[in-house]
Amino acid sequence: MEPQAVQRKLTAILSADVKGYSRLMGEDEVATIRTLTSYREVMSTLIQQHRGRVVDSPGDNLLAEFASVVDAVQCAVEVQREFKAKNAELSQSRRMEFRIGVNLGDVVVEGERIYGDGVNIAARIEGLADGGGICISGTVHDHIENKLDLAYDYLGEKTVKNIQKPVRVYRVRMEAHTTFPEAREELELPDKPSIAVLPFANMSQDPEQEYFSDGITEDLITDLSKISGLFVIARNSVFTYKGKAVKVDQVSQELGVRYILEGSVRKAGNRMRITAQMVDATTGYHLWAERYDREVQNIFALQDEVTQKIVAALEVKLKKDEEKRLVHKETDNPQAYDHYLRGLENLNRFTRAANSQAREMFERSIDLDQNFALAHAGLGWTYFNDWTRGWSQDPESLNESLELAKKAISLNDSLPQAHYLLGFVHLWKRQHELAIEELERVIALDPNGADGHAGLAEVLTWVGRHEEAIGRVKEAMRLNPHYPVWYLVILGWAYSVMEQFEQAIEALERARIRDPDLFSTHIILATVYSRTERMDEARSEVEEIMRISPEFSLDMLRDRVPFIDQATFEASVEALRKAGLS
């Protein structure tokens, strides 16, 4: 008998669960079940009204599918509005907030059930939503962006469990999220030439070559960032425009720069064609445009040439040490460079599996060129991530990272990435002054490096230099207007240690909305809420801590954090204990 063919279909999937369900059940099982039953009936009715069907509803979860992605999102919005009204009738501690995720994807059909990555992505996106909020995948956003009267916040590419590639995620703006809006003030132009390098488009026939065009973009940003006479926007901000059709004047206003560099890369075998053009966004005038046809092995010489063209066009005067640093020849081996770029792509995903893949790529790169300093630094970062993210309990991971950072510096003392790594290894070894020395060296080598300023801010907070830390992280935010969420965490943490609790809460709540699974945010928020006697919120944050890391304890906190002020640290520990962490 022939096996039955697998049935598949494209469908819109809605996944929902209750935030803080374990706490609600622990406090009053009967009342929680009664509320859940009532809310589930409301949700089921709204799903039917929007031409969807409930697929499954185990525990506090619910899974539904819709033929129309517009119907699915409209339903999610109405569900959250209805629940907001119902929650207003309940006490703060008994309110039931649902998180909702919506995805459009291919699923496997088996009777009334559906399975596959399409379902899994919806569930993972749901976990990124705040209580009372909705998150949607990039595929959903692309279909509904101009069809519904809603606003969306781009949360970036998220690496989600058991899904190979990162997923674009957007938050649907709900009224519940307007307490701490993301600040987007108009940015003034700096008093020196300012530029943003947009991600170069991959024009190759093979989409797998994306890493190569991204790598060229990053290298150009890195080179320009080293020039003190320029103001250069960081990678994190420019890559938010990747794959989008944008207007240079819009980018100029959003990033607060005058000049925009854009281009494309076509790679075939050992040949590449790179086009680049620079535009004055205030006038629309093209300062220059070039097309380069070269062998891949000449990539570094080509990058140097493009950098020099930009410097000449903007009439920037280089310092002597900057002239030396800009003539870079990291490796003569194009295969070593290719493996390095593949490693960097995986390193930027920040998952355990991708970290292992990055290590393999960096090791191959070093095998091909033992003197390739960047590859040694990249390999060091994989060991550092293992240690700091809890992927390895082996203390030798940190020591391995230390040796690789030193090796990279011995090969190229002007490499900011290596000094940055060394600085943070010193921090986690509680060698605070050495950490500060290395981070200050990073900024001297790379004055436009936003992460360098933010990294120094973090170290300064550990040692109690809070006002300096706040100044540094704000400088990083200007260099990186679409800054990563950890900048907000550093800002909130510095305010909290200064006991400026309202400013701390504002920054940390913005961080929590942008990334509900960022562990450090919940630890600091739990501390602040506990110290300000907002115990319901403090206990809710502790619950989130245990959801994200069930094995976490105060003993682990004592083991890991490199606080220099023990009195401040003990006050934080006591606040967490008071909130229920043991």
Check whether residue 319 and residue 347 sit in a common domain: no
Q: Which residues lie closer than 8 Å to 13 by C-beta, 6 or more apart?
A: 63, 64, 65, 66, 72, 102, 103, 104, 105, 107, 114, 118, 119, 122
SS3 169: strand
If you count them, how many residues does the chain have? Answer: 582
SS3 123: helix
Check whether residue 162 and residue 75 sit in a common domain: yes
DSSP letter at 179? Answer: S
Q: Identity (one letter) of the amino acid at 371?
A: N
The distance in angstroms from the start CA to the end CA of the chain is: 59
Last residue of a domain, one of 296, 326, 356: 326
Last residue of a domain, one of 326, 344, 371: 326
Find out whether 123 and 65 touch, Cβ atoms under 8 Å.
Answer: no
Check whether residue 146 and residue 211 sit in a common domain: no
SS3 72: helix
Both tokens of 412, joined, read: 């190229």
Residue 187 lies in a domain: no
Cα–Cα separations (whole angstroms), residue 251 to 141, 191, 205, 229? 21, 18, 28, 21
Model pLDDT for residues 375-396, shown as the tens digit of each residue: 999 999 999 988 877 677 787 9
Last residue of a domain, one of 293, 326, 359: 326
Both tokens of 350, joined, read: 């920040």
Check whether residue 439 and residue 566 sit in a common domain: yes
Q: Which residues pair with 279 in a beta bridge?
A: 260, 286
pLDDT beneath 70, residues of the chain:
1-5, 174-185, 205, 324-329, 350, 390
> What pLDDT score does 280 carry?
93
CATH number at residue 231: 3.40.50.10610
Residue 344: phi and psi, rounded to 5, are -65, -40
Residue 188 lies in a domain: no
Check whether residue 150 and residue 262 sit in a common domain: no
Residue 272 lies in a domain: yes
Check whether residue 524 and residue 436 sit in a common domain: yes
Check whether residue 132 and residue 29 sit in a common domain: yes
Find out whether 10 and 105 touch, Cβ atoms under 8 Å.
Answer: yes
Q: Which residues pair with 99 in a beta bridge?
A: 17
CATH number at residue 127: 3.30.70.1230
> What pLDDT score does 122 carry?
95
CA 98/CA 339 separation, integer angstroms? 44
The secondary structure of 333-375 as a DSSP string is -HHHHHHHHHHHHHHTT--HHHHHHHHHHHHHHHHH-TT-HHH
Residue 564 lies in a domain: yes
Residue 514 lies in a domain: yes
Angle (CA) 40 46 51, round 5°: 125
Q: Which of 165, 211, 196, 343 is nearest to 262 (CA)?
A: 196
Model pLDDT for residues 549-571, shown as the tens digit of each residue: 788 889 888 877 787 778 888 88
Cα–Cα separations (whole angstroms), residue 74 to 14, 49, 50, 457? 11, 11, 8, 42
Model pLDDT for residues 469-505, shown as the tens digit of each residue: 999 999 999 999 988 888 999 999 999 999 999 999 9
Q: Which long-range contacts (CB under 8 A, 24 or more apart) does 458-461 make?
A: 458/427, 458/490, 459/423, 459/427, 459/432, 459/435, 460/436, 461/490, 461/493, 461/494, 461/497
CATH number at residue 476: 1.25.40.10
Find out whether 452 and 420 touch, Cβ atoms under 8 Å.
Answer: yes
3-state helix, strand, coil in the chain (%, to 5): 55, 15, 30
CA 525/CA 582 separation, integer angstroms? 16
Check whether residue 160 and residue 212 sit in a common domain: no
Structural domain count of the chain: 3
Count Cα atoms within 13 angstroms, Cβ side, for 556. 14
Q: Which of 304, 284, 279 is nearest to 292 (CA)?
A: 304
Q: Identify the H or E element spanning 318.
A: none
SS3 532: coil
CB atoms within 10 A of CB 371: 16
Find out whether 108 and 116 touch, Cβ atoms under 8 Å.
Answer: yes
Q: Identify the H or E element spanning 158.
A: strand 152-158
Find out whether 221 and 255 touch, Cβ atoms under 8 Å.
Answer: no
* Pairing relationship of beta strands 194-197 and 134-137 according to DSSP bridges: unpaired
* Pairing relationship of beta strands 98-110 and 113-115 according to DSSP bridges: antiparallel
> What pLDDT score does 2 carry?
46
Q: Which residues pair with 278 in a beta bridge?
A: 261, 288
> What pLDDT score does 454 carry?
95
Distance of CA 200 to the CA centre of its chain: 20
Both tokens of 213, joined, read: 């065009």
Residue 182 lies in a domain: no
Residue 185 lies in a domain: no
> What pLDDT score does 196 carry?
94
> What pLDDT score does 327 carry?
64
Residue 189 lies in a domain: no
CA 448/CA 366 separation, integer angstroms? 28
Q: What is the dihedral of CA 174, 177, 180, 185, to 10 degrees?
A: -30
Domain containing 259 equals 194-326
Q: Identity (one letter) of the amino acid at 190?
A: P
